Structure 1
């Protein structure tokens, strides 16, 4: 089974590049099958990692950045691949 973990944060206004740099400096523990970093308007950054694992498996995730970098709590979602 393939599980995708999504991690999304919104930077404090004007700090989107700082948040993106922070994300790029992080190393997700373990060996995801694939990882992508995306950005969107409003200084949002999204990280998606794909894992060969069961849906409820304990998987490593990015930590929360410092509170002075984000404007709200990090959002996290978990999905399983559907054939």
Structure 2
């Protein structure tokens, strides 16, 4: 079965890294979604990364995490999509 990974990366507004992480952890995925795994990471510079893995190929119709509220973010969210090799 193919798997697609979605990567969501945001840079928090100055001093708001913990708030951004808490916000994204609180975002629910649809109950009927085919999410195999979800992981959260942080990095210097108040960056937050979320990786979700889904059943389906590269073009699978899977839900994306939303943009955070403007007061939590220093720039637009970066998103990437990868297919398991």
Q: TM-score, normalization: structure 2?
A: 0.92
- Cα deviation, residue 52, structure 1: 1.1
Structure 1: 4+ residue segments shifted above 6 A: none
- Cα deviation, residue 57, structure 1: 1.3
CA root-mean-square deviation: 0.8
Aligned to 1:42: 45
1:6-45 aligned at under 5 Å gives the runs 6-29=7-30, 30-45=33-48
> What secondary structure, in the 3-state scheme, does the structure 2 residue paired with 1:37 have?
strand
Q: TM-score, normalization: structure 1?
A: 0.94
Contact 2:5 2:84 in 1 (8 A): yes
Contact 2:6 2:51 in 1 (8 A): yes
- Cα deviation, residue 28, structure 1: 2.1
Unaligned segments of structure 1, at least 5 residues: none
Query: Could you tell me which of 61, 67, 72 is aligned with 1:69?
Result: 72
- How many residues of Structure 1 are paired with residues of Structure 2 in the alignment? 82
Aligned to 1:5: 6
